C-alpha cells in the first residue's frame, strides 16, 4: 500500500516482497488484486523454489524474478517493483540514469544500472525467472547495496533493500532521481555527470 501512497503504481501494477531468511520463505503481493481492496490476509507465502506455502490467491506473476534476486543477493530483505513513470521512461529508452547531482549520489553509488534486453528464447522459456537472471547478470562485479535498484530494458525498475520498507524508499528515490535526470537532460542534452569527487563525498 505504500507504493500507492508514494504514487509509484496504479491499478494492479507493481508488487513488494519481503523474505524470512531463516525459514527461506518470502511474502509477496497476490496477482491481479487491486490495492484498494488488498488485505494482509491476501499476501501469499512462497518458498525459494516458487512453491506456495500459504495463501488462497496466486502470487504475483513477478515472483520468479524476486526469487532469483533473493538467491543471488543474500544481503537483501525486500524487493519493490513498480512501473513508475520516469524510471520506466529510462528503462524503455534503454538508458542508465546518470548521476547528475548530489540527490542521486546520496542514494546510489554511480549510475543506476540497465540490463540488456531480454532475448526471445528467454521470454518463451521462463520470462519472469529470466528477468531476474538478467538483473543478476548485470550486477556482476557490482554491490547491490551500493546500487539498490536496476532498470530492466524495455520493462521497468526493480529496487531492493534490507527490508520491504527500505525497498520502497529506494524505489521512491529512484523515481525522484529519474525525474530530475530527465529534466536535466531536457535543459542540456550534453550535460556531463557530476564530478566523481563530489559523488564520492555525498555517497
Residue of higher predicted confidence among 5 and 159: 159
pLDDT in tens, 104-117: 999 999 999 999 99
Would the CA dihedral through 15, 18, 19, 20 be positive or negative? negative
Distance CA 128, CA 182 (A): 28
Sign of CA dihedral 28, 34, 35, 41: negative
pLDDT at 9 over 90: no
Statement: residue 54 has pLDDT above 80: yes
Q: Are 53 and 27 in contact (CB under 8 A)?
A: no
Rounded mean pLDDT of 52-68? Answer: 92
| 87 CB-near residues (< 8 Å, 6+ apart) | 97, 112, 149, 151, 156, 157, 174, 175, 178
* pLDDT tens per residue across span 116-165: 999 999 999 999 999 999 999 999 999 999 999 999 999 999 999 999 99
Integer CA distances (angstroms), 105 to 46, 78, 100, 166, in order = 35, 22, 8, 17
| Confidence (pLDDT) at 13 | 80
Residue 61 DSSP one-character state: T
Characterise 110 by phi-psi region: left (phi > 0), alpha (psi -120 to 50), beta (else). left
Amino acid at each position: 500500500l505504500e507504493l500507492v501512497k508514494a504514487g509509484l503504481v496504479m491499478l494492479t501494477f507493481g508488487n513488494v516482497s519481503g523474505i524470512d531468511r531463516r525459514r527461506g520463505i518470502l511474502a509477496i503481493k497476490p496477482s491481479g488484486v487491486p490495492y484498494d481492496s488488498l488485505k494482509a490476509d491476501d499476501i501469499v507465502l512462497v518458498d525459494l523454489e516458487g512453491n506456495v506455502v500459504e495463501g488462497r490467491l496466486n502470487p504475483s506473476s513477478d515472483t520468479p524474478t524476486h526469487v532469483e534476486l533473493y538467491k543471488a543477493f543474500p544481503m537483501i530483505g525486500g524487493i519493490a517493483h513498480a512501473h513508475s513513470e520516469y524510471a520506466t521512461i529510462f528503462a524503455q529508452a534503454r538508458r542508465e540514469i546518470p548521476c547528475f547531482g548530489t540527490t542521486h549520489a546520496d542514494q546510489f553509488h554511480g549510475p543506476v544500472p540497465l540490463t540488456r534486453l531480454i532475448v526471445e528464447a528467454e521470454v518463451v522459456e521462463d520470462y519472469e525467472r529470466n528477468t531476474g537472471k538478467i538483473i543478476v547478470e548485470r550486477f556482476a562485479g557490482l554491490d547491490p547495496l551500493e546500487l539498490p535498484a536496476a532498470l530492466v530494458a524495455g520493462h521497468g525498475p526493480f529496487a531492493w533493500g534490507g527490508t520491504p520498507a527500505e525497498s520502497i524508499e529506494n524505489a521512491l528515490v529512484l523515481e525522484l532521481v529519474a525525474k530530475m535526470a530527465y529534466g536535466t537532460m531536457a535543459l542540456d542534452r550534453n550535460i556531463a555527470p557530476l564530478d566523481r569527487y563530489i559523488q564520492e563525498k555525498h555517497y
